[in-house]
Chain A
Amino acid sequence: MKNKKKFNLETLSARFFSAFVYVFLYAPILIVILFSFNTSRRNITFEGFTVSWYGEMVRNSGLLESFVNTLVVASCSTAIAVVIGTLTAIAMFRYKFKGKGVIDSLLYIPVVIPEIVLGISLLASFAIASVPLGRISLVIAHATFSIPFVVFTVRARLSGYDRSIEEAAMDLGANRIQVLTGITIPIIFPGIVSGAVLAFTLSIDDFIISFFTTGASSITFPLKVMESVRSGIRPDVYALSSIIMLATFIIVIISQSAAYRSKKSGKD
């Protein structure tokens, strides 16, 4: 009897604790969604329900333009990071060479370095190479900080990979390109996908590095939001944020279920 009671108390507190964590994480998000439907311009009290901010958001060309720009930059930088990161991971897995350990640890530095330092370094580099600040410099900067993440996720996938699988494919008549496209990449694909998702979200999210490495011609959504903070955030920003959140939610669910499925079938 006593035991059972103690057990109940434990599960109860565990439940309470996890509920608290979820409230802590999701309450602010729900508030943003709530206020995107608020009739009031200010976001202190909820005065009434409206969807007019969603219409306002579409009419606010600056806001929408910045969002499209963010998506373009994120797509381009992700594509670059995925190609370079995947090939780097494969090369580092496959070949032994002098200084591999050093190169290995060098990959971690852009990850742990304060973003502001990376931002300033990139700005200085663009100045020296006389790359004009704009969309191109932004894409290069985002690809730079995304590459290590792709390398890490792909390499994690490769760690249990048996090289003789590739040899078996070659033995059966595949040339090196066919081995890469038909065997290696499909097997590490879940790693590539999670690397890409990571790179894409990091890029959409990024404020500090974008702040240093873009010009007036290429404003991203986070920069736009920061800019509007000074004049007070309008609910149309909430509306766009809500849509982004919904999209993210859907992407996460899709990628998680894909990862789950490949885990089920991909293990040898």
Chain B
Amino acid sequence: MEKEKEPPATEQPKPIVEISGVNKFYGSNHVVKDLSLVIYEKEFLSILGPSGCGKTTLLRMIAGFERQSTGTIIVEGENVENKEPFERNINTVFQSYALFPHMSIYDNIAYGLRMKKVPKKEIKDRVNKALVMVRLEGFGQRYPSQLSGGQKQRVAIARAIINNPRVLLLDEPLGALDMKLRKQMQIELKNLQRKLGITFVYVTHDQEEALTMSDRIAVMNVGNLDQCGKPEDVYDRPATKFIADFIGETNLFETVVEEEKGGVAYLYCEAGDMMGKSEGFDPNEIVYVSVRPEKTKCSVKPVENFSLGGIVRESIYLGNIVKTIINLTNGQAIKINTSVDQPAPPVGSIRYVYWDIKDAVMIYTHANDIINQIESVGLNSFNAAIPELLPKEGENG
């Protein structure tokens, strides 16, 4: 999908929601962990993470349905600690739509204005305008039970935006729709956000959706905010192993630094040697290396400083690309995407995997920090505990 570039920001974006040091516990379950995040005016921010990572909880704390255990949330410069949902200039689109079943579509959309005691005449104008905006003209007298999923979703959006909120929170709003409708609604939502010029905070577990729609993406992982940045930042420079794995396809290697020389890091892993970018690593430091399938290459003869030999297992034609799977000596399956006009290596042949140094994303594990800290404090007896402190394989799904 073609991504339109935002017009260059001439002025400094103004923060509208500032979350700092927020924790949320359900009993002993630590659901949101010391999370800080600034959301700016007029931006489309996605909160992306696997199911159960605390996205909904974070959204509910912003909306005011849930109170944080510790930390502060500031909306439009005001601490909202003691503000009820109806006192916040924020509206929510719920995943289940949450339309009022006993009211017509018109009354559903008018509800917020009626609560604010807006004059009848104005309500009528604004509701009709909202119906046009979500392309539901003529549906005003129907009931929610008479609408399709996509139409209900549009009513839920109209009902929320008619109040002119500064921030619109959307909790997996397209989750219940089928693929085709989803794609269409993604574009509609993005256009709507641009037209209205309000902040959208969009919760999703679909990384593709987040990449195509967002100005910025905040990636959550078991209650932590791992990274927040532009889609291309998150995609090209994932901050953690989890993100490299979660967003898009990648080939991930757990490596040890042999040495750094002349801007190049020489590394080795179970399957063999490789090279990466030099980023000031110490010898013996553990580093994850992530290389995207479209950046991974293979050759018949070993490339200098690489020794990742393997057997070509499969070659899958995907229309616009060919995906080649190579099994390394340690069993790891390497994915390589090449364009269809390049010859694919024959299945069963031996190939050597390599890449350009600039395409290797180096992910710092902090394992050495922990070891250094423990050593500097002189708690050598704690060394036994180190393996448990290291990031575990599979911990992040």
Contacts and interface: CB of A to CB of B under 8 A. Distances in A.
Interface of A: 162, 164-165, 167-175, 178, 183, 186-187, 265-268
B86 A175 contact: yes
A155 B96 CA distance: 21
B223 to A, nearest CB: 22
A172 B65 CA distance: 13
B145 interface: yes
B221 interface: no
A182 to B, nearest CB: 8
Interface stretch (B108-116, B123-131, B281-289, B326-334): B108-116
A168 B97 CA distance: 9
A171 B91 contact: yes
Given A168-B99, A171-B91, A173-B86, 14 more contacts: A165-B100, A165-B101, A168-B92, A168-B98, A168-B100, A170-B65, A172-B112, A183-B100, A187-B100, A187-B102, A265-B102, A268-B99, A268-B144, A268-B145
Interface residues of B, number: 26
A175 B84 CA distance: 9
Contacts of A165: 98-101
Contacts of B99: 165, 168, 268
Interface string B19-48: 000000000000000000000000000000
Contacts of B145: 265-268
Nearest to B144: A268
A233 to B, nearest CB: 47
Contact of A172 (B95, B96, B159): B159
A169 B100 contact: yes
A165 B103 CA distance: 12
B150 interface: no
Contacts of B225: none
Nearest to B116: A173
B163 interface: yes
B143 interface: yes
Contacts of A267: 101, 145
Interface string B70-110: 00000000000000111000111011101111100000000
B130 to A, nearest CB: 13
19 contacts: A162-B96, A165-B99, A167-B85, A168-B100, A169-B111, A170-B85, A170-B86, A171-B63, A171-B92, A171-B160, A172-B86, A172-B91, A173-B112, A173-B163, A174-B86, A183-B100, A265-B101, A266-B145, A267-B145
Q: Report the 7 A-B pairs with minimum CB-CB distance, sorted nearest first.
A: A173-B115, A172-B112, A168-B98, A268-B101, A164-B98, A173-B86, A170-B85
Contacts of B101: 165, 187, 265-268
A186 B102 contact: yes
Interface of B: 63, 65, 84-86, 90-92, 94-96, 98-102, 111-112, 115-116, 143-145, 159-160, 163
Q: Which of A162, A167, A175, A268 has the most CB of B within 10 A?
A: A268
Q: Which of A162, A167, A168, A169 has the most CB of B within 10 A?
A: A168
A84 B319 CA distance: 66
A168 B95 CA distance: 11
A171 B102 CA distance: 18
A165 B112 CA distance: 13
Nearest to A189: B102
A165 B116 CA distance: 18
B102 A167 contact: no
B115 A164 contact: no
Contacts of A268: 99, 101, 144-145
Contacts of B94: 164, 167-168
A193 to B, nearest CB: 14
A196 B146 CA distance: 30
A56 to B, nearest CB: 48
Nearest to A174: B115
B112 to A, nearest CB: 4
A160 to B, nearest CB: 10
Contacts of B115: 172-174, 178
Given A265-B145, A267-B145, A171 B100 contact: no
A97 B91 CA distance: 30
Nearest to B117: A173
Contacts of A187: 100-102
Contacts of B85: 167, 170-171
A167 B63 CA distance: 10
A177 to B, nearest CB: 12
B275 to A, nearest CB: 52
Nearest to A175: B86
A174 B85 CA distance: 9
Nearest to A265: B143
Nearest to B94: A164
Q: Which of B84, B99, B115 has the most CB of A within 10 A?
A: B115
Nearest to A185: B102
Contacts of B96: 162, 164
A112 to B, nearest CB: 34
Contacts of A171: 63, 85-86, 90-92, 160
Nearest to A173: B115
Contacts of A168: 92, 94, 98-100, 159
B102 A162 contact: no
Nearest to B146: A265
